[in-house]
Structure 1
Amino acid sequence: MDYTRLFQFDGDRVLVIGAGSGIGREAALALGAHGATVICADRDSTTAEETAAMIGGSATSTVLDVLDPDAVRAAADEYSDIAALVFTAATNVRKRIADYSMEEFDRVVNLNLRGSFSLIQAFAPKMAANGGGSIIGFASIRAFTVEPGQGAYAATKAGLVQLARTAAAEFGPANVRVNVIAPGVVETPLTAQIKNSPEWYNAYAQKGALGRWSKPEELAGAVVYLASKASSYVTGSVLMVDGGWTAIDGRFDPPNA
């Protein structure tokens, strides 16, 4: 085993969906830095192109709306030779259950869960036919720990965890690995509402062991790991990248402890 090659992609093609900003952009940049040929996909063509330009070299961009099943199937046909698929697209409506409209519920479920199902359904068989690959989705700490106002979002993220585990079981014999990353609080556009409230922002920062929020680039290493040869025996797993949020019980330090 040449361990110096564990994180090298040697030109393998990888598709990053949601590459136009935030965690998706940083994941694309990191994969490109390790030698992958990155296809930057996003619903926004301009931001996808910007990410591809930042990577340079053989990186390309494409427009993809994960809510369009025909477009997803077409992308799976076009990129049937990819070694890894990463998808980060998600949305949230922060309201208590009693205040939710069904339109809001459908919006969250359709993007977060239905879109994820559509991607796995389209790409996993292609990877299986091609000898294997790695599929990486993004769940959340909300798949495991919740608070008021997170009902629909938390349900979709818990659903994604079980979807990934099932896909790992179904496609594992064909050497297709399926895993999810569960971030804690990350400074992205999705969390702008919280960031704009100092009290809320600081309360979240103190929930984790590290006492701070994460930056999108701090999720990139987990993506590279799960896409690489270094994780060849990892599937059906949830990789927590939450700064210790789910490991500790708040930030109170008992006296004399």
Structure 2
Amino acid sequence: MQNYRQLFDLTGKVAVVLGAASGIGQASAHALGSLGAHVVCADRDAEGAEATARDITESGQGSAEWRATDAADGTHIAALAEHTLVTHGRVDIAVATPALNIRKLIVDYTDDEFDQVMNLNLKGAFHFMRQFGVPMMKQGKGSLVLCSSMRAVTIEPGLGIYAASKAGIEQMVKGFASEVGSHGVRVNAVMPSIIETRLTAPLKERREIYDTYAAHTVFNRWGQPSEVGAAVAFLASDAASYISGSSLSVDGGWTAIDGPPTGLTQTRAST
């Protein structure tokens, strides 16, 4: 009989989380650590990465270390992979969550702004998959988890470039999964909707926008980073051993319904 509890156990696994200083990355690092993985917490915000690693270790639920890493710099990502392999001899799980959104109409975007978004969101994901995919292929196992967005499939004005980068991640995940599956490596993504993070903080400050976005979900609320971190941990674990090339919606039902719920309730006729 299958031990299902054991499928979620990450004891002895080596995990890297890029973007671990805050938000979804931080929650993912906490989730992986609490399930037993040793977590390498990486972020451009070195103090934040160190704090996350310290929290994991001091909680008594896991072990962790930290590395200063710029997710938009391919040489930094290569150095992070090399450090992990030299220090631990392998990498079982690699998660990347950093993202940038410059909310502007496409006609108002500058070339520099376009490059900033694409270099971090899309090219950064490419570097991450390549640098961590190669050692996973050599060792014959591993799980890569990227962070896409429900904006990969649904859009609103001012989010075209950000959405394009997230749709690109979704397609790269599918492509890379097809290339590394024969080596025992899985590649997936999470697709969050409106989550309370540093990236969405400016929207949260405007009550009318906050309420409007909440109403797009079936729960009429924003999501928490921990709810995405739990999904990341699932995809990283053996519980998802037959899942690859997928983008898991963690969106409160946003993409399942045609706009905000109407507020109508179903009544049952009595006879």
TM-score by length of 2: 0.92
Aligned residues: 257
The separation in 1 between residues aligned to 2:154 and 2:170, in whole angstroms, is 13
Q: Aligned to 2:84, which of 68, 79, 85? A: 79
The separation in 2 between residues aligned to 1:78 and 1:233, in whole angstroms, is 29
Displacement of 1:17: 0.5
**CA deviation digits over 1:145-181, x for unaligned, max 9?**
0000001000000000000100000011001100000
The amino acid of 2:262's aligned partner reads F
Residue 207 of structure 2 aligns with which residue? 198
2:40 equivalent to 1:35:
no
The separation in 2 between residues aligned to 1:4 and 1:194, in whole angstroms, is 38
Residue 233 of structure 1 aligns with which residue? 242
Give the alignment of 1:1-257 within 5 angstroms. Answer: 1-56=2-57, 58-80=63-85, 81-250=90-259, 251-253=261-263
Structure 1 residues 17 and 256, CA gap change in structure 2 (3 angstroms): closer
**CA deviation digits over 1:91-136, x for unaligned, max 9?**
0000111111111111101100000001111110110101210000
For residue 134 of structure 1, give the secondary structure of its aligned residue in structure 2.
strand
**CA deviation digits over 1:51-107, x for unaligned, max 9?**
011000531011111222222222222223111001100000001111111111111
**CA deviation digits over 1:19-74, x for unaligned, max 9?**
00111111111111111111100111111110011000531011111222222222
The amino acid of 1:3's aligned partner reads Y
The separation in 2 between residues aligned to 1:172 and 1:90, in whole angstroms, is 26
Deviates more, 1:179-188 or 1:189-198: 189-198
TM-score by length of 1: 0.97
For residue 127 of structure 1, give the secondary structure of its aligned residue in structure 2.
helix
Q: Over aligned residue pairs, what C-alpha RMSD do you find? A: 1.3
For residue 190 of structure 1, give the secondary structure of its aligned residue in structure 2.
coil
Uncovered stretches (5+) of structure 1, i.e. residues with no partner: none
Give me the identity figure in percent: 46
The amino acid of 1:58's aligned partner reads S
Uncovered stretches (5+) of structure 2, i.e. residues with no partner: none
Structure 1 residues 46 and 248, CA gap change in structure 2 (3 angstroms): same
The separation in 1 between residues aligned to 2:265 and 2:127, in whole angstroms, is 51
The separation in 2 between residues aligned to 1:116 and 1:255, in whole angstroms, is 43
The amino acid of 1:24's aligned partner reads G
